[in-house]
Homo-oligomer: A and B are copies of this chain.
Amino acid sequence: TSSRICERGADVAVCGGTHGNELSGVYLVRELLKAKDIVMEEEREEPASVLMVLANPRAMQQCRRYVDTDLNRCFTHATLNGPISDSAPYEMTRSRELNAMLGPKGSPGAVDLVCDLHNTTANMGLCLILSLACLFQRQMPDVPMRFIHFDVSSKESYSLDSVGKHGFAMEIGPQPHGVVRSNIYTAMKDGVQHMLDWVRLFNSGTIFEAGFVDVFTIVKNIDYPRDSETHNITATIHPQLQDRDFLLLHPDDALFQTFSGETLRYKGNEPLYPFFVNECAYYEKGIALSLARKNTVAYHNMAFKVHS
């Protein structure tokens, strides 16, 4: 892998509203679009260009995650390049527009770095979700930052950030979908500014110190207990687990509380780190929480290398 994003300055895309009810990204990208003239002035010193994108305007208008289907699952090569009918879901059409704008995925013309902004109802703080080994190691002064790694070596990545040569999702919570909270909005604004500062330093030839960082690598998802006939959930996250993302879950710890008041316990035999605990949008995906192993990752300038 190259140790620079590209030889000239990197092109960066910052995307909000990929899920139309995750409002921090929606309002941040709108704000950055308004302030773009000012940003451009400052940028004259630096060769990087920053593209601001509102990814799913129809879903934003309705304040829903999506109109027809989850846009952030529409960026496989098959979906982007397969046959498409006039009656295709809106997001299937929109993903092709975005691929034309930021990609084409896998091509030399693709934007160097895509930063896709998301919110979660889970108490996850600021997380970078990476499917590629990349990115900035300087910790932010005020907000602890965590790295999550989905190992997609076996299957192709389907998310918007996979359209760029490099990409990641910035995921911040807790914030209810359809609401914008000042503290979460500000953390995202600082996170994006931090990322842009890093790119600027990188492009100007700065060599960052090597070091180590913790990365949470997903092991598995756990669904809510459900009624076998209706498929309705019969329990929710236990109060002892709620809001405790990234705090170790041990075998026999409380996992769910049924609606009749019973406690169900974690039956795994390995302590793991929970995250996306009680994320709103994952009820329909059958995910009550995800579990991760914590790995230490050595980085040297840009290149990450995962060893567990």
Binding site for B on A (CB under 8 A): 27-28, 30-31, 35, 63-64, 121, 174, 176-183, 185-186, 232-233, 236-239, 242, 257, 259-261, 278, 280-281, 283-284
Contact = CB atoms under 8 A, between A and B. Distances in A.
A182 B238 contact: yes
Nearest to A237: B182
Given A30-B232, A259-B27, A179 B35 contact: no
Contacts of A236: 27, 180-182, 185
B177 A178 contact: yes
A65 B281 CA distance: 15
Contacts of A176: 121, 174, 176-177, 179, 280
**Central interface residue in A174, A179, A260, by most chain B CB within 10 Å:** A179
A49 to B, nearest CB: 22
A177 B259 CA distance: 18
Contacts of A283: 63, 178-179
Given A177-B177, A178-B283, A181-B237, 15 more contacts: A30-B259, A31-B259, A63-B283, A121-B176, A176-B280, A177-B280, A178-B280, A179-B283, A180-B233, A180-B236, A182-B236, A182-B239, A183-B239, A183-B242, A186-B239
Given A30-B232, A232-B30, A280-B176, A259 B181 contact: no
Contacts of A181: 236-237, 242, 278
Nearest to A178: B280
A37 B278 CA distance: 31
A292 to B, nearest CB: 21
A278 B239 contact: no
A27 B258 CA distance: 10
A128 to B, nearest CB: 22
A238 B182 CA distance: 6
Contacts of A186: 239, 257, 261
Nearest to A120: B176
A197 B50 CA distance: 62
Q: In the A-B complex, list the 8 residue pairs whose CB atoms are closest, starting with the nearest.
A: A176-B176, A178-B280, A31-B259, A182-B239, A121-B176, A180-B236, A182-B257, A179-B280
29 contacts: A30-B232, A30-B259, A31-B260, A35-B260, A63-B284, A64-B64, A174-B176, A176-B177, A176-B280, A177-B177, A177-B178, A177-B280, A178-B280, A178-B281, A179-B280, A179-B283, A180-B233, A181-B236, A181-B242, A182-B236, A182-B237, A182-B238, A182-B239, A182-B257, A183-B242, A185-B259, A186-B239, A186-B257, A186-B261
